[in-house]
Amino acid sequence: MQTIQQEQVLSISLKEAWEFFSSPKNLKIITPPFMGFDITAADLPAEIYQGMIITYTVKPLFGIPLNWVTEITQVQAPFFFVDNQKSGPFAVWHHQHFFEKHGNGVRMRDVVHYKVPYGIVGKMAEQLMVKRRVEEIFAFRYQKLKELF
């Protein structure tokens, strides 16, 4: 199991942070174009809720489209939510999102635990490209949030 953690302070209020990050429609904005990320779920609500299922297509490697289904498993507005992959490119994807007031802004922290499928072949792919790709996704997200806020 691999873990990626990222922390960033944004110059917005806790309320603004929650409104942005709890809206599934904003996921595409903070996902790099190379992922070919598209939400396929119809009629998404303005804000996530516990038990919510979100479906996407992604093209994480070599432009090959994959279906990805996540479930919002925990929500404690405006401080915390968790999404877990139900099906998709990973054997495990558990993404925790934390928000806390920090000075005049908000400290946002992501903690992702993931595991690549396919045993030893997956472990080799993880070392050769998957880990770097996940890090690139979060580097893009960090920069995009810096531009937006």
| Residue range(s) defining the domain that contains residue 94 | 2-148
Overall average pLDDT of the 19-38 stretch = 95
Both structure tokens of 53? 């299922």
Q: Is the per-residue pLDDT at 11 higher than 90? A: yes
What CATH number did the domain enclosing 105 receive? Answer: 3.30.530.20
User: Could you report the per-residue pLDDT of 83-123, keeping only the tens digit for each?
Assistant: 999 999 999 999 999 999 999 999 999 999 999 998 999 88
Q: Is the per-residue pLDDT at 44 higher than 90? A: no
Give the predicted TM-score (pTM) of the model.
0.93
Both structure tokens of 6? 């990222």
In the chain, which ranges are continuous DSSP H helix?
Answer: 14-21, 119-125, 131-148
Q: Which amino acid is at 66?
A: L
Domain count across the chain: 1
